Amino acid sequence: MEILLAIIIGTLYASGIYMILRRSLVKLIIGIILLGNGANLLIFLLGRIAKGAPPIIPEDSKVFLDAYSDPLPQALILTAIVISFGLQSFAIVLVKRAHKVVKTDDLDEMNATDEYS
Amino acid sequence: MKTIILRTASNYMLPLLLIFSVFILLRGHYLPGGGFVGGLIASIAFVLHAFANGLGDTRKLLHFHPGFLMPTGLALSFLSGVSPLIFTGEPFMTGLWYPEHLPIVGNLGSALFFDIGVYLVVQGVTLTIIFTISEST
Amino acid sequence: MMPQLVIYPLIVQMLLAIVLMFVWSKISWQRTISIVGSILNLGIAVWLFSSVWQHGSHTVQAGNWQPPFGITFVADTFAATMVLLTAIAGVAVSSFSAGSVIPARLKFGFFPIFHFLLLGLNGAFLTGDIFNLYVWFEIIIITSFVLLTIGGEKAQLEGAVKYFTLNILASIIFLTAIAVLYGLTGSLNMADLAAKVAAVENRTLVQVNALLFLVGFGIKSAVFPLYFWLPASYHTPPSAVSAIFGGLLTKVGVYALMRVFTLIFDVDPFLENVLLAVAVLTLFSGAVGAIVQKNIRKIFSYLVICHIGYMIAGLGMMTEIAIAGAVFYLIHDITVKTNLFMMSGVIYKIKANHNIKKLGDFYADYPKMSLLFAIPLFSLVGIPPLSGFWPKLSLISAGWTTENYMVIGGIIFASFVTLFVIVKLWGEVFWKTGEKLPETRNFPYFKKLTKMKKTQMMAPIIFLSIVSLYLGFGAENIQALSERIAFELMDNQEYINAVLRK
Question: Does the pLDDT of residue C2 top 70, yes or no?
Answer: no
| Facing A98 at nearest CB: one of C142, C161, C188 | C161
B36: which chain A residues are within 8 Å (Cβ-Cβ)? 78, 82
Half-sphere exposure of A10 (CA within 13 A, CB side): 6
A117 in a structural domain: no
Q: C461 and C368 in contact (C-beta within 8 Å)?
A: no
Given CB atoms, is A10 within the 8 Å cutoff of chain C? no
Given CB atoms, is B82 within the 8 Å cutoff of chain C? yes
Looking at this protein, which amino acid is placed at residue B94?
T
How far, CA to CA in Å, does C73 sit from each of A106, C68, C254, C257, C345?
44, 12, 19, 18, 36
Using only the alpha carbons of chain C, give its radius of gyration: 22
A57 in a structural domain: no
Spatial separation of the C-alpha atoms in residues C467 and C455, rounded to whole Å: 18
Looking at this protein, which amino acid is placed at residue C202?
N
Q: What is the pLDDT of residue B32?
A: 65
- Sign of the CA dihedral C340, C345, C347, C353? positive
Check whether the bond before C385 is cis (ω within 30° of 0): yes
Spatial separation of the C-alpha atoms in residues C502 and C494, rounded to whole Å: 10
Instruction: Give the closest-approach CA distance of C301 to chain A in angstroms.
Output: 13
| Cβ–Cβ below 8 Å for B133 and A86 | no
Residue from B65, B69, B74 to probe the interface with C (highest C Cβ count within 10 Å): B74
Given CB atoms, is C113 within the 8 Å cutoff of chain A? no
DSSP alpha helix (H) spans, B28-93:
35-53, 55-62, 69-87
- Residue of chain C nearest A104, judged by CA positions: C158
How far, CA to CA in Å, does B94 sit from each of A75, B110, B114, C18, C332?
18, 9, 11, 21, 38
A90: which chain B residues are within 8 Å (Cβ-Cβ)? 129
Task: State the chains in contact with C (3 or more Cβ–Cβ pairs under 8 Å).
Answer: A, B
Which residues does residue B106 pair with via DSSP β-bridges, in sequence order? B102
| Facing B91 at nearest CB: one of C15, C21, C61 | C61
Given CB atoms, is B90 within the 8 Å cutoff of chain C? yes
Domain range list for chain C: 3-500
Spatial separation of the C-alpha atoms in residues A32 and A13, rounded to whole Å: 10
Which residues does residue A106 pair with via DSSP β-bridges, in sequence order? A24
How far, CA to CA in Å, does C487 sit from each of A6, C190, C200?
42, 18, 26
- Residue of chain A nearest C354, judged by CA positions: A117
DSSP C58-84: EEEEGGGPPTTTS-EEEE-HHHHHHHH
Q: Work out the average pLDDT over C2-17.
A: 88
Q: Which residue range is the domain that position A29 belongs to?
A: 2-52+67-111
C69 CB contacts (<8 Å, ≥6 apart)?
A: C189
Q: C20 and C34 in contact (C-beta within 8 Å)?
A: yes
How far, CA to CA in Å, does C7 sit from each of B13, B74, C126?
44, 17, 8
pLDDT tens, residue by residue, C33-64 = 999 999 999 999 999 999 999 988 888 888 88
pLDDT tens, residue by residue, B29-88 = 667 668 888 999 999 999 998 888 888 888 888 888 888 899 999 999 999 988 888 888
- Residue of chain A nearest C130, judged by CA positions: A76
Given CB atoms, is B44 within the 8 Å cutoff of chain A? no
Q: What is the pLDDT of residue C259?
A: 92
Q: Work out the average pLDDT over C265-269.
A: 86
DSSP alpha helix (H) spans, C402-502:
405-425, 451-473, 475-490, 493-500
DSSP chain A: -HHHHHHHHHHHHHHHHHHHHSSBHHHHHHHHHHHHHHHHHHHHHHT---TT--S---TT-SS--S----SHHHHHHHHHHHHHHHHHHHHHHHHHHHHHHH---BGGG--GGG---
Question: Does the pLDDT of residue C171 top 90, yes or no?
Answer: yes
| Cβ–Cβ below 8 Å for A91 and C168 | yes
Other CB atoms within a 10 A radius of the CB of residue C114 amount to 28
pLDDT tens, residue by residue, C379-388 = 998 888 888 8
Q: How far is CA B71 from the centre of its chain?
A: 13
Span of A19-33, C1-15, C411-425, C437-451 with lowest mean pLDDT: C437-451
- For residue B75, the SS3 value is helix
Spatial separation of the C-alpha atoms in residues C369 and C44, rounded to whole Å: 31
Q: Work out the average pLDDT over C438-460.
A: 84
Instruction: Give the closest-approach CA distance of B4 to chain A in angstroms.
Output: 30
Q: What is the pLDDT of residue B34?
A: 82
pTM: 0.94
Instruction: Give the closest-approach CA distance of B133 to chain A in angstroms.
Output: 7
Spatial separation of the C-alpha atoms in residues B31 and B52, rounded to whole Å: 33
| Cβ–Cβ below 8 Å for A112 and C158 | yes
- Residue of chain C nearest B86, judged by CA positions: C4
| Facing A89 at nearest CB: one of B36, B129, B136 | B129
- Inter-chain Cβ pairs, chain A and chain C, closer than 8 A: 97
- Residue of chain B nearest A85, judged by CA positions: B126
Instruction: Give the closest-approach CA distance of B1 to chain C in angstroms.
Output: 31
Spatial separation of the C-alpha atoms in residues C16 and C22, rounded to whole Å: 10
Span of A65-74, B10-19, C304-313 with lowest mean pLDDT: A65-74
**What do you get for the CA distance between the two ends of chain B, in Å?**
15
Question: Does the pLDDT of residue C203 top 80, yes or no?
Answer: yes
Spatial separation of the C-alpha atoms in residues C41 and C48, rounded to whole Å: 10
Question: Does the pLDDT of residue C356 top 80, yes or no?
Answer: yes
Domain of A84, CATH number, reads: 1.10.287.3510
- Residue of chain C nearest B81, judged by CA positions: C63
Which residues does residue C295 pair with via DSSP β-bridges, in sequence order? C355
Spatial separation of the C-alpha atoms in residues C38 and C121, rounded to whole Å: 14
Spatial separation of the C-alpha atoms in residues B53 and B134, rounded to whole Å: 13
Question: Does the pLDDT of residue C363 top 90, yes or no?
Answer: no
Q: Which residue range is the domain that position B94 belongs to?
A: 4-135
- For residue C359, the SS3 value is coil
Q: Provide the domain count of chain B.
A: 1
Given CB atoms, is C149 within the 8 Å cutoff of chain A? yes
| Cβ–Cβ below 8 Å for A46 and C162 | no
- Inter-chain Cβ pairs, chain A and chain B, closer than 8 A: 14
Of chain C, the percentage scoring pLDDT greater than 70 comes to 99
- For residue B102, the SS3 value is strand
Check whether the bond before C3 is cis (ω within 30° of 0): no
ipTM: 0.94
Instruction: Give the closest-approach CA distance of B67 to chain C in angstroms.
Output: 9
- For residue C129, the SS3 value is strand
| Cβ–Cβ below 8 Å for A96 and B136 | yes
C63: which chain B residues are within 8 Å (Cβ-Cβ)? 91-95
Given CB atoms, is B30 within the 8 Å cutoff of chain A? no
| Cβ–Cβ below 8 Å for C235 and A20 | no
A116 in a structural domain: no
For residue B77, which of B137, B35, B21 has the smallest C-alpha distance?
B35
Looking at this protein, which amino acid is placed at residue C361?
D
A25 in a structural domain: yes
Looking at this protein, which amino acid is placed at residue C500?
L
Given CB atoms, is A49 within the 8 Å cutoff of chain C? no
Interface of C with A in 231-250 (CB under 8 A): 232-233, 235-236
Q: Work out the average pLDDT over B86-108.
A: 77
Pick out chain A residues at pLDDT < 70: 115-117
